[in-house]
Structure 1
Amino acid sequence: MKINTVSIVGCGWFGLPLAKLLVKQGYQVSGSKRDKEAANKLKKEGIQGFSLDLDHHKFNGQCVETDKLFQNGVELTSELESEFKASLHTHALVINIPPSLRKQPNGYLKRLVYLKSLMADHVYQRVIFISTSGVYPATGQSMTEGDAVAHSPSSNILLQAESLFLQDYPTCVLRFSGLMGPARHPGRFLAGKTGLPGADAPVNLVHLDDCIGAVSCLLSKEPLSPIYNLCASAHPGRSDFYSQAAKCLSLVAPTFGEEVQVAKIIDGSKITKELGFNYRHNSPLDMLDKC
């Protein structure tokens, strides 16, 4: 079956421009914001906006408990239920929920478990789960999709999150490297800092344009592997990259000491080899003009 309807949970820095592109490509797109007023504004972009607060179990401002929404697998009939189905029970679902593990280490999995209960037993043609290259350890080696391991508490949570959907739905996990793009210029990240380690450690970055393009690719191609990395092919050293990035914004360049930092190199080539996806931005240094 052809995918015609797509729901995006999380229409923020990445999800909103993704939704706009998918609308242009002819998909019927639903998108969530936590705030109802912000969700209503999505209509101007041709997006069916809905508010979804996974912390407080609210859909369009109303508290939604799954045991009341679904009873023994039989859907209840109501205006809320009709809105709910149109918003979340689509052909494809893109799950884009920032982990925020430093602020709320336990909140991420709780949000995803609740979202999964809302998905229930709906038959999706495709679920795309946005994850991160934080699942890979720093060993100094090139990391492909099979190299993920729970090497820290945060990586353990991230892998649990992926498994929640891989085990029960036709899911493709897309692991983003460090993100660059409009309103996310890396020149601010390390500007003015001194004595930093890992001057020669390679950076792993990807531009917003390629994140959007990759999801569009995953919606239109098949068959898919369960997991793909997304990372530019060039990996300049931290000192060269962040010094140049700071200068682009006329900020004080960071300085690096002699301390060596064991790093990793994310291999983002699998999606190109299997699906013919072409990165628009393969050099992080060149991306600095696109932020």
Structure 2
Amino acid sequence: MNDIAIVGCGWFGLPLAKLLVEQGFNVSGTKRTAEGCASLLSHKINPFELDLSTINDNELESKAMTYAGLFDADMLIVNIPPGLRRGESQYLPHVQRLISLIGERQYQRVIFISTTGVYPAIDKDMTENDAQVYDDKSAILLKAESQFAAMNNSCILRFSGLIGPKRHPGKFFAGRENIAGGNVAVNLVHLDDCIQAVTSIVKATSAHQAVNETYNLAAPKHPTRSEFYRYAAKHLGLAEPSFNDDKQPSKVIVGDLICQQLAFNYIHSDPMLMLDAC
């Protein structure tokens, strides 16, 4: 297995692609603009300009030839941010257009990056089997997952809240007062561990090792929202938020299955200590 295609070379996809190039893989990747593609080329990544929002469904068949060089790979990694919290509504159409462009191709491994937003906010430790439709957003996320789960050799990787370089969480609640849910467990994962998780699946696939259909990714430690965001604001020298006594349901994302099956170890196991790597 030498050729890897990455759809979405942004904050997560680009450093992943760069690492895979360093490890000797021939990597192709997508950006939505010509300028973005130029940046990929500078990192020895084969660039493809792909903006799923600009493709008309009637031209999918003709566009499929344009992207043959991208999708004719041994492994496919798909990282399309849903944007549902920002009110974006085209996530599923984009996924479906991408599936059409891929066509009937078969891969040694398909990795689809999803989110732990598929788990409801209830007092429960959430394993990979606990995903359910509980609102419109979770229905969209699970529908997208199902599109790729139907492909042979697929693996769904569900990321918890992402932090890392240029994504310091200290500003999120800084200076706010009387915030409810200070008891809620924080479920976070660092960019370094997201990249390491994908490369672990790549290595396992190359070694013909069994890979589960779905993995959660969340740091093993789960401080409360009050503990974490007060510390995070202080870490940036900002005013600490204050939380009231109103409690909310507290889900805990269990992300140890990948550790058990793929000898994976979190680089950043404690969200408090992650802040030094943001």
Q: TM-score, normalised by structure 1?
A: 0.91
Instruction: Measure, in 2, the Cα distance between the counterparts of 1:211 and 1:281.
Output: 10
CA distance in 2 between partners of 1:118 and 1:107 (Å): 17
Matched letter for residue 114 of structure 1: R
- 1:112-165 CA-to-partner distances (Å, cap 9, x unmatched) read 000000000111111100000000011111000000000111011100000011
Aligned position for 2:262: 275
Q: Secondary structure of 1:106's match?
A: coil
Question: Partner letter of residue 253 of structure 1?
Answer: E
Query: Match of 1:272, SS?
Result: helix
**2:26: which partner in 1?**
28
* CA 190–269 in structure 1, closer or farther in 2 if over 3 Å, else same: same
Q: Which runs of 5+ in 2 are unaligned?
A: none
Paired amino acid for 2:24: G
How many residue pairs are counted as aligned between the two chains? 274
For 1:106 and 1:281, locate their aligned partners in 2 and report how far apart those are by CA, in whole Å: 33
Q: Among 9, 13, 37, which residue is 1:11 paired with? A: 9
Matched, 1:67 2:65: no
Post-superposition CA distance 1:210-268 (Å, at most 9, x none): 00000001111121111000000000011111011001111111110111011200000
Q: In the aligned structure 2, how far is the partner of 1:67 from the partner of 1:214? A: 34
SS of the residue 1:110 aligns to:
helix
Once the two structures are TM-superposed, the CA of residue 69 in structure 1 deviates from its matched residue by 5.0
Partner of 1:130: 113
Deviations 1:59-93 (A, max 9, x none): xxxx99223356xxxxxxxxxx3x62221221111
Q: What does 1:1-291 align with in structure 2 at a 5 Å threshold?
A: 3-57=1-55, 65-68=59-62, 81=65, 84-221=67-204, 222-291=209-278
| 1:104 Cα deviation after fit | 4.5
AA aligned opposite 1:209: D
Shift in Å, 1:170:
1.9
Please give the alpha-carbon distance, in whole angstroms, between the structure 2 residues aligned to 1:106 and 1:226: 27
CA–CA distance in structure 2, aligned partners of residues 18 and 64 of structure 1: 33
Long gaps (5+) in structure 1: 71-80
Q: Look up the equivalent residue of 2:61 and give its one-letter code.
A: D
How far 1:197 sits from its partner (Å)?
Answer: 1.0
Paired AA for residue 131 in structure 1? S
Q: Is the 8 A contact 1:235 1:283 kept in 2?
A: yes
